[in-house]
Amino acid sequence: MKHNFGAGPGILPQEVLKQAAEAVIDFNGTGLSLLEISHRSKEFEAVLDEAVQLVKELFSVPEGYSVLFLQGGASTQFALAPYNLLPSGGKAAYLETGVWANKALKEAKYFGEVEVIASSKESNFTYIPKDYTIPADAAYFHITSNNTIYGTQLQEFPKSPIPVVCDMSSDIFSRKVNVADFGLIYAGAQKNMGPAGVTLVIVKDDILGKVDRKIPAMFNYQTQIEGGSMYNTPPCFAIYVSMLTLRWLKAKGGVAAIEQENITKANALYNAIESNPFFKGVCAVEDRSHMNVCFVMENPELEKPFLKLCDERGIVGVKGHRSVGGFRASIYNALPLSSVLALIDVMQEFADSNK
């Protein structure tokens, strides 16, 4: 058995993988593969409709918001958010908490002024800045809820006088969120919702249509809303697998239930790191992520032997990002507690054999 701690594309529920595999051969008894049916068919329209409704139900999306399934990944949203929301000559505020936040603010500079109101770059992004003021004259305030590379996470979202735009790519549906506190939420599916190829966007309708530039149809949120995420052929398979994952999440008890599971998994692993003299955490305790647990060896020379033992025990995907090294255990929704306990056992085994 493999225990998949990969950071992304991340683990998916086994039952979802089985259903998706069956649909590739014969989708819902149609005699056709999901990969070859028309996106305009009643069969696929039912998939998209269910996916949208599940998002609204699981996240309690209020009236006045639209749910979109788009292509291009979250990196495309780095540009589409300011393209649609930042007026020419206007200003946007950004919180810089990691690589992806940095990439997002760089894209925004093509459309207007960017004010970085706080950053933890000087500490290699090991904490989330707390003491900052959100400028009321900015068009929006952009944050990244979870930082996969550095293992930090916003445990509380800021109260803002302007629309909040949030990249939730790596912790979407992992905890309860008050959607009404945000103007725009976007998330690449491949870390916690589905396969790569589709991006979820939840946008408040009344923040759109206020910029003075012409926006090409494919990049215009309003066009995509009017087309029901089908202005062009959507990524049908990725949407279908995401729908199955959302269906699986609902059956487990929804976001509130999975949040408690995620807290249990994270606490178990952080406690193991703290109690094992061979390992240590790298982030501020109050900002530690419940999705991406980053840690290092007290003795860096033991990193390779530990990774070798992990491989022998079926623990995969724990090597840290190439830019920071060490280890990273991504414990997304679909990863069971048993896998976390298996990693903890290997950590203890390694410590016992290297005393």
> Which pLDDT tens digit goes with each residue over 29-80?
999 999 999 999 999 999 999 999 999 999 999 999 999 999 999 999 999 9
State residue 225's pLDDT score. 98
Preceding peptide of 135 cis, ω within 30°: no
DSSP 288: B
**How far apart (Å, rounded) are the C-alpha atoms in residues 111 and 322?**
31
State residue 167's pLDDT score. 98
**How far apart (Å, rounded) are the C-alpha atoms in residues 5 and 19?**
22
**How far apart (Å, rounded) are the C-alpha atoms in residues 335 and 311?**
17
Residue 309: Cβ-neighbour burial (10 angstroms; 0-12, 13-18, 19+): middle
At 163, give phi and psi (nearest 5°): -55, 135
- Please list, residue by residue across 179-189, b when 16 or more beta carbons sit within 10 angstroms of its beta carbon and e when fewer do: beebbbbbbbb
State residue 204's pLDDT score. 98
Q: How far apart are the first and last CA of the chain?
A: 28
* Confidence band of 169 (pLDDT split at 50, 70, 90): very high
State residue 1's pLDDT score. 83
pLDDT of 23 over the 90 cut: yes
pLDDT in tens, 226-247: 999 999 999 999 999 999 999 9
Q: Please give the single-letter amino acid code of residue 116.
A: V
**How far apart (Å, rounded) are the C-alpha atoms in residues 186 and 169?**
7
pLDDT of 355 over the 90 cut: no
pLDDT in tens, 112-162: 999 999 999 999 999 999 999 999 999 999 999 999 999 999 999 999 999
* Confidence band of 101 (pLDDT split at 50, 70, 90): very high
State residue 321's pLDDT score. 87
Distances (CA, A) of 79 to 105, 115, 129, 317: 9, 16, 24, 30
Q: Average pLDDT of 322-347?
A: 95
DSSP 28: T
pLDDT of 311 over the 90 cut: yes
Q: Could you tell me where in the chain the CATH 3.40.640.10 domains are found?
A: 14-251
Can you read off the two tokens belonging to residue 76? Answer: 């495309």
Global pTM? 0.97
Q: How far, in whole angstroms, is CA 193 from its chain's centroid?
A: 8
Q: Are strands 327-330 and 292-297 parallel, antiparallel or unpaired?
A: antiparallel
Q: Which CATH number fits domain 14-251: 3.40.190.10, 3.30.470.20, 3.40.640.10, 3.40.50.1100?
A: 3.40.640.10
Q: Could you tell me where in the chain the CATH 3.90.1150.10 domains are found?
A: 3-9+253-353
**How far apart (Å, rounded) are the C-alpha atoms in residues 154 and 344?**
25
CB neighbourhood size of 159 (10 A): 8
Q: Average pLDDT of 181-201?
A: 98
Q: How far, in whole angstroms, is CA 116 from its chain's centroid?
A: 22
pLDDT in tens, 321-332: 887 889 999 999
State residue 240's pLDDT score. 98
Asked if 351 contacts 276 with a C-beta cutoff of 8 angstroms, the reply is: yes
**How far apart (Å, rounded) are the C-alpha atoms in residues 170 and 82?**
21
Q: Are strands 315-316 and 279-281 parallel, antiparallel or unpaired?
A: unpaired
Can you read off the two tokens belonging to residue 148? Answer: 């996969």
CA atoms within 13 A on the CB side of 150: 25
Residue whose tokens read 């923040």: 207
Q: Average pLDDT of 300-317?
A: 97
CA-based max dimension of the chain:
66
State residue 174's pLDDT score. 98
Asked if 99 contacts 170 with a C-beta cutoff of 8 angstroms, the reply is: no
Q: In what order do the strands lie in the sheet with 292-297?
A: 279-281, 292-297, 327-330
Asked if 65 contacts 203 with a C-beta cutoff of 8 angstroms, the reply is: yes
Catalytic amino acids?
100, 167, 191
3-9+253-353 folds as Aspartate Aminotransferase, domain 1 (3.90.1150)
Asked if 67 contacts 224 with a C-beta cutoff of 8 angstroms, the reply is: no
Q: Average pLDDT of 283-302?
A: 97
In the three-class reduction of DSSP (H, G, I as helix; E, B as strand; rest coil), residue 281 is classed as: strand
